[in-house]
């Protein structure tokens, strides 16, 4: 018995006539010529050998964990952090906690046994972000660069692209997203370009136009090594959006978890600044099934729909006026319920937060 | 109308009758001896796959010609040209849908008005799926690919394909039975 779905798809498409005519073959040949010319042009633009080294940011970006951002070993200071909850009838706060030295923030911090001399000698990897001005959900490129003693290994199915004398490995990273990984030629460094809303051709052209700021880096990196690239081939309308260095203070975070039946909301806040926000955004955009913008508490919020282990989940992510990075993860609800949850997000006064922590503890 | 939606498995589509027979040619994975062999054998089927993904014959042919060009460019270096072709068709189709979505957003259109797919509940439901889920459904239930092959085409893990298909079929069933 033929499954109706298969039958139906065949009824929709099988009548379409598109024979492999000489004209179609000629069109493919023309397209090959265009692609070849485009690649030659990019390679010619390339030129010099780039020697680079480094990257802690690459690993952080790849894992997209704000905790991966290097921070000092000092204890947390949550006093300046905002606190949020969801004021929704029937929802129960099952956890409200300051993330301390034994909590998640520590995982993101620099090695506990940090050696100041070693830190000074090991420059941090770079993270650069390119997007249309003010458009967090528009076409975006997140570029990280750091030290590496190992070569990038391609995965099956990767498309190999030529990048200024090095092989880059391009792979789809989700709907509308690509990852491009490479070791800049002659360098011990590792670069990762993650994009959203750009075509693969745009990604290749952008990557081919990247020029390392420092072409004399070897592993291990030295204190005066500089990571990052100058972008010479930006996609139309895209500009570099500066990413501020992590704040000087100790890492701190807060987490609130609410549940009602199968529905769950986790609100996580950290003080790790632009880098945390951009790393999170890179991860969300490059794994998204759907992306949109919304408003929460008068801030522009990136709303991302993803498919997780437990089904569809939504992340609402923003950076508040104080620079705190807020991520609200909503699971176990249908899409129609998400705006309602967002509308019910409330900021808590310091004393209310302390009471909530005490109550939930 | 009803849609039979069993739990997706990695077993090949039913063989022997109906769609199974039609798809037996789709799942042939022998490496074509030459690029032109592959082109002659796979051009029209791939246009049909792309048509189900983008809903327009002209854009489907554009997508497939571009995909074949990329395969020809890398012919000597590709172990599995057909798998690579699927991946290129899916990626190019995503590019088309992304561009169309931007255009529609700009025009404030509420739905896909460019589709040439016949007026049909299933076509509407298919168009309402996210592009990746739509691709998973088309590659599985039209092109007859296995989950592993779909995973390669979509650049995801086979387990993710299973999840995508499950969710896509749930959505299709919801829409059709509404």
Domains in chain B: ranges and CATH = 18-177 (1.20.140.160)
pLDDT at A116: 36
DSSP per residue, A61-130: HHHT-GGGS---SSPP--TT--EEEE--TT-EEEEEEEE-TTSHHHHHSSPTT--HHHHHHSPPPEEEEE
Q: Does B8 touch chain A (CB under 8 A)?
A: no
Residue A5 to residue B172, Cβ atoms within 8 A: yes
CA dist A274 and A280 (Å) reads: 10
Q: What pLDDT band is residue B99 in, cutting at 50, 70 and 90?
A: low
CA dist B131 and B108 (Å) reads: 20
Say what the pTM is.
Answer: 0.53
Q: What pLDDT band is residue B116 in, cutting at 50, 70 and 90?
A: low
Residue A9 to residue B2, Cβ atoms within 8 A: no
CA B8 to chain centre: 16
Query: Greatest CA span in chain A, whole angstroms?
Result: 76
> Which residue is closest to B91 within chain A, CA to CA?
A172
Residues from chain A that touch B152, judged by Cβ atoms under 8 A, are 156-157
CA dist B34 and B19 (Å) reads: 28
Domain boundaries, chain A: 53-61+115-241, 69-112+246-360
Lowest mean pLDDT, pick from A81-95, A271-285, B117-131: B117-131
Residue B5 to residue A5, Cβ atoms within 8 A: yes
pLDDT at B97: 79
Smallest Cβ–Cβ distance between B141 and the set A9, A28, A199 belongs to A9
Helix axes A22-46, B35-54, angle to 10 degrees: 90
Q: Does B154 touch chain A (CB under 8 A)?
A: yes
> B17-64 pLDDT, tens per residue?
233 334 333 444 456 678 999 999 999 999 999 999 998 899 999 999
Which of B39, B76, B122 to mutate against chain A (most A CBs within 10 Å)? B122
Q: Is the pLDDT of residue A51 over 50?
A: no
Q: Would you state the CATH architecture of domain A69-112+246-360?
A: 3-Layer(aba) Sandwich (3.40)
Nearest to A202 by CA among A139, A145, A144: A139
Residue B23 to residue A176, Cβ atoms within 8 A: no
């Amino acid at each position: 018995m033929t499954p109706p779905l298969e039958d139906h798809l065949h009824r929709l498409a099988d009548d379409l006539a598109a024979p492999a005519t000489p004209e179609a073959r000629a069109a493919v040949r023309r397209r090959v010529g265009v692609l070849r010319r485009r690649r030659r042009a990019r390679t010619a633009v390339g030129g010099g050998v780039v020697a680079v080294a480094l990257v802690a940011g690459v690993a952080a970006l790849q894992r997209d964990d704000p905790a991966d951002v290097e921070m000092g070993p000092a204890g947390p200071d949550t006093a300046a952090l905002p606190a949020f909850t969801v004021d929704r009838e029937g929802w129960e706060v099952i956890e409200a906690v300051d993330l301390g030295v034994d909590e998640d923030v520590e995982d993101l911090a620099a090695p506990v046994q940090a050696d100041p001399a070693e830190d000074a000698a090991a420059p941090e990897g770079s993270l650069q972000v390119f997007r249309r001005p003010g458009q967090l959900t528009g076409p975006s490129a997140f570029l990280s660069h750091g030290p590496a003693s190992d070569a990038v290994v391609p995965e099956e199915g990767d498309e190999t692209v030529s990048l200024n004398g090095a092989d880059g490995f391009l792979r789809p990273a989700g709907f509308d997203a690509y990852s491009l990984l490479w070791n800049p030629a002659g360098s011990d460094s590792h670069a990762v370009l993650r994009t959203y809303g750009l075509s693969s051709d745009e990604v290749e052209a952008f990557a081919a136009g990247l020029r390392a700021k420092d072409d004399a880096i070897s592993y291990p990196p030295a204190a005066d090594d500089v990571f990052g690239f100058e972008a010479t081939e930006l996609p139309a309308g895209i500009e570099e959006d500066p990413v501020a260095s992590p704040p000087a203070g100790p890492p701190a975070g807060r987490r609130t978890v609410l549940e009602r039946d199968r529905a769950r909301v986790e609100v996580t806040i950290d003080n790790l600044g632009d880098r945390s926000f951009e790393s999170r955004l890179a991860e969300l955009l490059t794994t998204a099934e759907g992306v949109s913008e919304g408003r929460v508490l008068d801030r522009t919020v990136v709303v991302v729909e993803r498919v997780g282990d437990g089904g569809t989940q939504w992340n609402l992510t923003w950076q508040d006026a104080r620079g705190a990075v807020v991520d609200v993860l909503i699971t176990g609800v249908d899409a129609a319920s998400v705006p309602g949850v967002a509308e019910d997000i409330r900021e808590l006064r310091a004393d209310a937060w302390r009471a909530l922590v005490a109550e939930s503890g | 109308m009803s849609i039979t939606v069993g739990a997706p498995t990695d077993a090949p589509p039913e063989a022997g009758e109906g769609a199974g027979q039609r798809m037996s040619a789709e799942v042939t994975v022998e490496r074509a001896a030459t690029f032109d062999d592959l082109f002659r054998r796979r051009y029209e089927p791939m246009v049909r796959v792309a048509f189900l993904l983008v809903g327009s014959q002209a854009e489907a042919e554009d997508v497939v010609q571009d995909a074949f060009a990329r395969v020809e460019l890398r012919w000597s270096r590709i172990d599995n040209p057909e798998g690579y072709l699927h991946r290129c068709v899916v990626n190019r189709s995503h590019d088309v849908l992304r561009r169309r979505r931007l255009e529609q957003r700009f025009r404030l259109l509420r739905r896909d008005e460019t589709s040439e797919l016949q007026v049909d509940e299933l076509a509407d439901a298919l168009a309402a799926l996210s592009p990746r889920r739509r691709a998973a459904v088309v590659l599985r239930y039209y092109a007859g690919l296995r989950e592993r092959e779909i995973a390669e085409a979509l650049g995801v893990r086979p387990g993710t394909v299973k999840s995508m298909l499950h969710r896509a079929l749930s959505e299709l069933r919801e829409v059709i039975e509404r």
